A = this chain, B = another copy of it.
Amino acid sequence: MQKLQQETDRLIQTVAREGDRLSGTDRRKFLRNGLTLLGGAAAAVTTGASAEEPFLPPAVPPWSKRLGPGVVTNPYGKPSPHEAHVVRRNVPWLTADRIASISFTPLGDLKGIITPSGLTFERYHAGLPEIEPQKHRLMIHGMVDRPLILSMDDLMRFPSTSMIRFLECPANGGMEWRGAQMDKLQFTHGMLACAEWTGVLLSTILQEVGVQKGASWILAEGADGAHMARSIPMDKALDDALIVYAQNGEALRPEQGYPVRLINPGWEGNTCIKWLRRLEIGDKPWHMREETSKYTDLMADGRSREFTFVQECNSVVTNPCPEKPLKAKGKYWIEGLAWSGRGKIKAVDVSFDGGANWRQARVTGLVLPRALTRFGLEWDWDGSPALIQSRAMDETGYVQPTYAQLRQARGTNSIYHKNAIHTWRLHADGQVTNVQIS
């Protein structure tokens, strides 16, 4: 053991001496030779700014020389203090107050497809109801043979199932309809998350209560002060709608509907009623406030589309983005997220010249229906300005539209369902800004 450690220390010292011995230029060459695949890009970061900066081999840092704190100091763990900037944020002017408001997922700092529950965007219509789970009840009634009132314990006795699905507010990107406005990825696309949801299929509960002939709609109502309620077609209820009590393995967080919510996979987040207290089965939609005055699409001719439930195919590049500028020219892993409320993502293309040329990206992880899908590709940045875009296609063959195509179909009065191809302008200094090109 001791001999091995001595050898290790000797080796590290050799590498350190090698670094010290070399001049600034040679030092860069030394590292660049080791980065053939990256084309010297990483070397530019490692050797950093000036030739005067001391070379830093992995000599034994202070934290490797001492005992750290042990267990039980963190019975429920938290992120590193060095990640304190990775938080949900709101846009003060966007809503009238903080009670009926929105916070956004920090997409630029996230990896993979799972969104941590603590970073999942929030949307409130009357703030956060602080529910005592033992007293919470879910009533299922209306056009049913056996109305039912369930406690949380009751609900846990039904067969349980899990699915990884995205959740997106239909207003995601809504501030961009008339032009580029928001200055961060967190605000252009951050009403978006993806999680493993666990609960009871709504179809199981409907079988339990016995749906009567002619029933075709279900009203889902929340226990918040707004009694947020949406009408859901029976087809969706019988397909994959899930009465959810857990997100990413643990009980739902309060801001996500604790102790129970509805998830309609791939559909407007607004239909995924949080703090679910009531499911009424009927034969027509209810035309509630949040499906008439809100969450409808005002078309160019002044008419309004109602019940546009599906979140269409969409995508965005998450690296680089305004929060993640590039530091120097060289090779990078350009990545992003794609999703479709209609099924799986089939392909994602990326352009670096505003849509003139496209390269197919790689999908790097699970490809699940109605889930975020991670894509990426290698790119050697020569330091020139660029217009970076992504364009996703889903398994139905639907391709994400340009802004010109979207505006031709929908006009500019809309708030919801903006899924146009997004553009980041990469400047010569590596900074990234939000722009729109048709």
Contact = CB atoms under 8 A, between A and B. Distances in A.
Interface centre among A71, A146, A154, A245 (most CB of B within 10 A): A71
A58 B185 CA distance: 41
B278 A124 contact: no
A286 B333 CA distance: 34
A223 interface: yes
Q: How large is the interface on A (under 10, 10 to 19, 20 to 34, 35 or more residues)?
A: 35 or more
A214 interface: no
A224 B34 contact: no
A327 interface: yes
A160 B245 contact: no
A390 to B, nearest CB: 16
Interface string A392-415: 000000000000000000000000
Interface in A263-283: 277-278, 280
Interface in A234-266: 245-246, 248-251, 253-255, 258-259
A46 B137 CA distance: 9
A33 interface: yes
A130 B139 CA distance: 49
Interface string A190-208: 0000001110000000011
Contact of A223 (B57, B63, B278, B289): B63
A111 interface: yes
Interface string A94-115: 0001111111000001111111
Contacts of A280: 8, 11
Interface stretch (A78-86, A302-310, A339-347, A421-429): A78-86
Interface in A61-79: 61, 63-79
Given A57-B137, A157-B45, A335-B160, A70 B128 contact: yes
Contacts of A258: 80, 82
A395 to B, nearest CB: 18
A330 B77 CA distance: 37
Tell me the interface secondary structure of chain A in the complex. loop
Contact of A68 (B69, B72, B137, B224): B224
A46 B157 contact: no
A255 B223 CA distance: 37
B15 A147 contact: yes
A128 B69 contact: yes
A42 interface: yes
Contact of A76 (B61, B71, B119, B224): B119
A52 interface: no
A331 interface: yes
B127 A77 contact: no
A35 interface: yes
B374 A124 contact: no
Contacts of A115: 249
Given A99-B70, A112-B196, A159-B364, A118 B333 contact: no
A103 B72 contact: yes
A117 interface: yes
A122 interface: yes
Given A34-B146, A71-B102, A116-B117, 4 more contacts: A67-B127, A67-B225, A111-B250, A116-B248
The 3 closest A-B pairs by CB, nearest first: A68-B127, A34-B146, A162-B365
Interface of A: 1, 4-5, 8, 11-12, 15, 31, 33-38, 41-43, 45-46, 56-58, 61, 63-80, 82-83, 86-90, 97-103, 109-120, 122, 124, 126-133, 135-139, 141, 146-151, 153-154, 156-164, 196-198, 207-209, 221, 223-225, 227, 245-246, 248-251, 253-255, 258-259, 277-278, 280, 286, 288-289, 327, 330-333, 335, 362, 364-366, 368, 374, 376, 378
